Amino acid sequence: MSKVRLGILGYGNLGKGVELAVRQNDDIELTAVYSRRDPSTVAIATEGVEVKPAEALESGEEPIDVLILCGGSATDLPKQTPHYAKLYNVVDSFDTHARIPEHFAAVDTAAKDGGSTALISCGWDPGLFSLNRLMGNCILPDGADYTFWGKGISQGHSDAIRRVEGVADAKQYTIPVEEALEEVRSGSNPELTTRQKHTRECFVVLEEGADAARVAEEIVSMPNYFDEYDTTVNFISQEELDRDHAAMPHGGFVLRSGQSASGKKMLVEYSLKLDSNPEFTACVLVAFARAVARFSNEGKTGALTVFDVPPAYLSPLDGAELRAHML
Amino acid sequence: MSKVRLGILGYGNLGKGVELAVRQNDDIELTAVYSRRDPSTVAIATEGVEVKPAEALESGEEPIDVLILCGGSATDLPKQTPHYAKLYNVVDSFDTHARIPEHFAAVDTAAKDGGSTALISCGWDPGLFSLNRLMGNCILPDGADYTFWGKGISQGHSDAIRRVEGVADAKQYTIPVEEALEEVRSGSNPELTTRQKHTRECFVVLEEGADAARVAEEIVSMPNYFDEYDTTVNFISQEELDRDHAAMPHGGFVLRSGQSASGKKMLVEYSLKLDSNPEFTACVLVAFARAVARFSNEGKTGALTVFDVPPAYLSPLDGAELRAHML
């Protein structure tokens, strides 16, 4: 079988992660990186792979089987995914949960128009965590769902802190509360408030002359982001931030705590501990890109999510090999 | 949509579990229990559902959409699944890992002959654990797999003890070694021996006058079952066994410990903690029976495994609901 030819649009942390993930999959090759920046300013890690302007994609003739869209969910993907789904098979990691239905509808129309296959909202949440929520609900209909995130860097919360006056730089860790996790694991199906599930820890670099007390107060009382949480603010130097908080770890837990009709308790727990959030997300995208290529070969068009993909489609191995070695 | 009509063949622990699981799924109904025993001697828990002789199935005309085969893997299922797959859509929990390829081939031929859909080796291992092994491998191709079982009752090992001369009754618990689990979680990818991964704890009732020391020695040195493990043998009374060890708990852990191409460590962990092994297995079978009914409606014939089932097929909800609430 010929290799699956991937294109990457957007060479940020996620795009770089996809580039890395391709190296671990012999049946997949990177054809080109597409960028909205001047290609001559984009130095990629893989030798022999071209960086092209995003406009090159407009022809619909680029030699790629699947285009992985590595832009952001706030402004890039709502436009990019429907646009490129008309031209290529695509995978995105659209993660604004509340807007998934409208995004799906727009991408579905575009992909059907273009005769392509488009997988949206892939990664770990939405993605692998969603699969575990779905399966937990199907297998244990009488039960409760719990999702905890962290310990890890929240990009959105870090950005929110950086917008506070007097803040030069910041990183924010979301931390699951161990006692709450243990309570869920006990099978007691607790009702947990936002504050009981996660704490938030901030590492903040002040601008010169900024009032630390006011900055701290503004952070911990920030609506939506911090006011419902127990938040710790630590002031450190830029050197310390760069040295100790440059990594992008993340992870979390999905639990389904249920019972059988006779009242026997059952607990399903799924967890991820990731030294790099974007690199792991990229690994997931690449595995699902393989599935998209297979669906496309079968003539399937339109939008899909991880819920629609038979797990065997993620593997380079055939059914007989999977049954013999993995079942 | 009309309900999925289930039949159960075999009314042991698993069959009883399926009967219980049906109650938790509004879109599924139990049509009949089929038994090789005299139906008049089989009292089932559900009012209004008939117990019929297994022979009634031979017509191929029983009013069921899916037949769940609740026999054992050693002798029942290798014959039953191909036999009934010619007549009905079926689901089994065949769990002799080494013989899955030949079982699949036999069932596939039969189901294609009969124009039916047959899902084999469903449950949690094989089943949910297999899915996690597969997905772990696809997402983190550079890594190591670990499966731990327990703490739980192993039926096979309990049976083996009962065959020792002088043993009146016995239960055996398989227990994962916490230190080994922690070592795996640390990301060090240890090579673990059989002895390092699990211990075995036996609760044994002696026949009157039996030599406890000889029985204990015979158990701990039993090839394949115990000789490669650290095994503890506790002698107790039948009353104690019945009082304290009648439940059938089980569970376990599947871990994939890998790294990205840049060397970032990633850990995926899936675990089950089940107060009743057969009742949980039954919950899985019923969810997958829903998928089998859907495949059959689509005209798909032949054998399948959990690897072939899009997760959405396990749910009574439609795609739009799943995307809105679970993704």
Cβ-nearest to B315 among A138, A283, A319? A138
Residues from chain B that touch A261, judged by Cβ atoms under 8 A, are 20-21, 23-24
The whole-number pLDDT of residue B188 equals: 95
The reply to whether residue A312 touches residue B315, judged by beta carbons under 8 angstroms, is no
Cβ-nearest to A266 among B104, B121, B275? B275
Cβ-nearest to A141 among B25, B135, B273? B25
The reply to whether residue A262 touches residue B269, judged by beta carbons under 8 angstroms, is no
B290 vs chain A: nearest CA distance in angstroms?
10
B16 vs chain A: nearest CA distance in angstroms?
10
One-character DSSP codes across B11-55: -SHHHHHHHHHHTT-TTEEEEEEEESS-GGG---SSTT-EEEEGG
The reply to whether residue A276 touches residue B261, judged by beta carbons under 8 angstroms, is no
Burial A92-107 (b: 16+ CB within 10 A, else e): bbbbebeebeebbebb
pTM, entire model:
0.96
Tokens encoding A115 = 């005769």
pLDDT at B76 over 80: yes
Of all helices (H) and strands (E), which one includes residue B170? strand B167-176
Residues from chain B that touch A124, judged by Cβ atoms under 8 A, are none
Burial B16-45 (b: 16+ CB within 10 A, else e): bbbbbbbbbbeebbbbbbbbeeebeebebe
Q: Judging by DSSP bridges, how do beta strands B302-304 and B117-119 pair with one another? A: parallel
Question: What is the mean predicted confidence (pLDDT) over A204-214?
Answer: 97
Cβ-nearest to A264 among B139, B142, B276? B276
Residues from chain B that touch A265, judged by Cβ atoms under 8 A, are 273, 275
Looking from the CA of B66 toward its CB, the CA atoms found within 13 Å total 30
Q: What gap in Å lies between CA A215 and CA A218, rounded to an integer?
A: 5
Cβ-nearest to A271 among B260, B269, B275? B269
The reply to whether residue A270 touches residue B273, judged by beta carbons under 8 angstroms, is no
The reply to whether residue B327 touches residue A20, judged by beta carbons under 8 angstroms, is no
B306 vs chain A: nearest CA distance in angstroms?
8
The ipTM (two decimal places) reads 0.96
**pLDDT-derived band of residue A322, with 50, 70 and 90 as boundaries?**
very high
A149 vs chain B: nearest CA distance in angstroms?
14
**Is B178 within 8 Å of B172 (Cβ atoms)?**
no
Compute the count of residue pairs across chains A and B with CB atoms less than 8 Å apart. Answer: 216
User: CA B180: distance to chain centroid?
Assistant: 24
Mean pLDDT of chain A: 97
Burial class (CB in 10 A: 0-12, 13-18, 19+), A56: middle
**Is A171 within 8 Å of A241 (Cβ atoms)?**
yes
The SS3 of residue B175 is strand
Residues from chain B that touch A138, judged by Cβ atoms under 8 A, are 287, 290, 311, 314-315
The reply to whether residue A266 touches residue B280, judged by beta carbons under 8 angstroms, is yes
**pLDDT-derived band of residue A1, with 50, 70 and 90 as boundaries?**
low
**Is B139 within 8 Å of A287 (Cβ atoms)?**
yes
Question: What is the mean predicted confidence (pLDDT) over B92-98?
Answer: 95
The reply to whether residue A283 touches residue B260, judged by beta carbons under 8 angstroms, is yes
A64 vs chain B: nearest CA distance in angstroms?
21
* Per-residue pLDDT tens over the stretch A27-82: 999 999 999 999 999 999 999 999 999 999 999 999 999 999 999 998 999 999 99
One-character DSSP codes across B45-90: SSTT-EEEEGGGGGGS--S-SEEEE-S-TTTHHHHHHHHHHTTS-E
**Is B140 within 8 Å of B146 (Cβ atoms)?**
no
A165 vs chain B: nearest CA distance in angstroms?
34
The reply to whether residue A280 touches residue B287, judged by beta carbons under 8 angstroms, is no
- Which residue in chain A has the smallest CA separation from B257? A273
One-character DSSP codes across A112-169: HHHT-EEE-S-SBTTBHHHHHHHHHHHH-SSEEEEEEE-SEE-HHHHHHHHTSTTEEE
Q: What gap in Å lies between CA B110 and CA B134, rounded to an integer?
A: 27
Question: What is the mean predicted confidence (pLDDT) over A107-126?
Answer: 98
- Which residue in chain A has the smallest CA separation from B308? A310
| Of the candidates A252, A324, A40, A134, the residue with the CA atom closest to the CA atom of residue B310 | A134
Least confident of A79-83, A132-136, A154-158, B161-165: A154-158
Question: What is the mean predicted confidence (pLDDT) over A157-161?
Answer: 94
Tokens encoding A182 = 């243990």
Residues from chain B that touch A327, judged by Cβ atoms under 8 A, are 97, 100, 121, 126, 130, 305-307
pLDDT at A267 over 90: yes
Burial class (CB in 10 A: 0-12, 13-18, 19+), B105: middle
**pLDDT-derived band of residue B2, with 50, 70 and 90 as boundaries?**
confident
The reply to whether residue A260 touches residue B21, judged by beta carbons under 8 angstroms, is yes
Query: What does each C-alpha distance from A210 to A163, A203, A215, A234, B82 come to in angstroms?
Result: 14, 15, 8, 14, 76
Cβ-nearest to B307 among A121, A276, A310? A310
Residues from chain B that touch A290, judged by Cβ atoms under 8 A, are 138
The reply to whether residue B139 touches residue A312, judged by beta carbons under 8 angstroms, is no
Q: What percentage of residues in chain A have a pLDDT greater than 90?
A: 98
B277 vs chain A: nearest CA distance in angstroms?
9
Question: What is the mean predicted confidence (pLDDT) over B66-72?
Answer: 97
- Which residue in chain B has the smallest CA separation from A269? B271
Q: What gap in Å lies between CA B5 and CA B49, rounded to an integer?
A: 12
pLDDT at B1 over 70: no
- Which residue in chain A has the smallest CA separation from B273? A267
The reply to whether residue A266 touches residue B276, judged by beta carbons under 8 angstroms, is yes
Tell me which of B46, B260, B306, B315 to substitute to probe the interface with A (most A C-beta atoms closer than 10 Å). Answer: B260
Listed in sequence order, the residues at least 6 apart from A57 whose beta carbon sits closer than 8 Å to its beta carbon are A7, A9, A34, A67, A84, A87, A88
- Which residue in chain B has the smallest CA separation from A247? B264
Q: What gap in Å lies between CA A261 and CA A264, rounded to an integer?
A: 7
Question: What is the mean predicted confidence (pLDDT) over B202-223?
Answer: 97
**Is B283 within 8 Å of B14 (Cβ atoms)?**
no
Mean pLDDT of chain B: 97
Q: Describe chain A by its helix, strand, coil percentages, rounded to 5.
A: 40, 25, 35
**Radius of gyration from C-alpha coordinates of chain B:** 22
- DSSP annotation of B207 reads P
Q: Over A269-291, what HEC string results? A: EEEEEECEHHHHHHHHHHHHHHH
Residues from chain A that touch B268, judged by Cβ atoms under 8 A, are 128, 270-272
Cβ-nearest to B142 among A24, A274, A326? A24
Q: What gap in Å lies between CA B79 and CA B106, rounded to an integer?
A: 9
Terminal Cα-to-Cα distance of chain B (whole angstroms): 24
* Per-residue pLDDT tens over the stretch B160-184: 999 999 999 999 999 999 999 999 9
Listed in sequence order, the residues at least 6 apart from B186 whose beta carbon sits closer than 8 Å to its beta carbon are none
Q: What gap in Å lies between CA B135 and CA B179, rounded to an integer?
A: 25
Q: What gap in Å lies between CA B128 and CA B43, rounded to an integer?
A: 31
- Which residue in chain A has the smallest CA separation from B146? A326
Cβ-nearest to A135 among B121, B279, B314? B314
The reply to whether residue B262 touches residue A276, judged by beta carbons under 8 angstroms, is yes
* Per-residue pLDDT tens over the stretch B26-66: 999 999 999 999 999 999 999 999 999 999 999 999 999 99
The reply to whether residue B324 touches residue A137, judged by beta carbons under 8 angstroms, is no
The whole-number pLDDT of residue B323 equals: 97
Burial B193-229 (b: 16+ CB within 10 A, else e): eeeebbbbbbbbbbeeebeeeebbebbbebeebbeeb
A144 vs chain B: nearest CA distance in angstroms?
13
Query: What does each C-alpha distance from B278 to B103, B154, B175, B274 come to in angstroms?
Result: 22, 12, 18, 9
Residues from chain B that touch A97, judged by Cβ atoms under 8 A, are 327
